[in-house]
Copies of this chain bind each other. A is one copy, B any other.
Amino acid sequence: MSIILCEQPIEPWKELEAYQKNSTLLKGKYGACNIFTGVMRDFNQGDTVESMYLEHYPGMTELQLKHIAEQGMRQWSVLDCLIMHRVGAVAPNDTLVLVACWAVHRGDAFDACRFIMETLKTQAPFWKKETLATGRTRWVEKNSEGYQ
């Protein structure tokens, strides 16, 4: 299991390739991998967003992500799990988060990845501050329920 906070852009496909290649745990043993990537859009709540700052709580953020990953891996049969999350200044089209779960069977990979992602959204201490095209800045007050 690996939890990584990144100040530099995340290249999700390169990271996944490297992680899978280096994992001795996985070779021949897993049958399913489910991956989620969350990406910064250039619009939110009807406004054009120019850039964003992702604040976090160093120490607590890593600790809470670890709790979440462990809970997901305990609740389903997950062989390995990778969580990467961007911090600091980000721009539209940047990957903000990557969650990957490897399992023997697909149900566990799907369920664990979704659980980790939903729980991260409500529990991991990150806060988004948007800079709009108008120059105005605002804190995002609440994460969406996932469908709108």
Q: Mark A136-148, 1 if CB is under 8 A from B, else 0.
A: 0000000011111
- CB neighbours of A34 from chain B (8 A): 34-36, 113
Q: Which of A14-46 contact B (CB under 8 A)?
A: 14, 16-17, 27-42
A117 CB within 8 Å of chain B = yes
Chain-B contact segment, one of A1-9, A54-62, A102-110, A122-130? A102-110
The answer on a CB contact under 8 Å between A93 and B41 is no
Q: How many copies does the complex hold?
A: 2
The chain B residue with its CB closest to the CB of A92 is B28
The answer on a CB contact under 8 Å between B38 and A32 is yes
- CB neighbours of A16 from chain B (8 A): 13
| Distance, CA A36 to CA B35, complexed state (A) | 6
A114 CB within 8 Å of chain B = yes
The answer on a CB contact under 8 Å between B105 and A146 is yes
Contact among B29, B31, B39, B77 with A32 in the assembled complex (CB-CB below 8 Å): B39
In the complex, 22 of the A-B residue pairs with CB atoms within 8 angstroms, ordered by the A residue number, are A13-B13, A13-B14, A13-B17, A27-B93, A28-B92, A28-B93, A29-B41, A29-B42, A30-B41, A31-B39, A32-B36, A32-B38, A34-B35, A34-B36, A34-B113, A35-B37, A77-B147, A105-B146, A105-B147, A107-B145, A107-B146, A110-B114
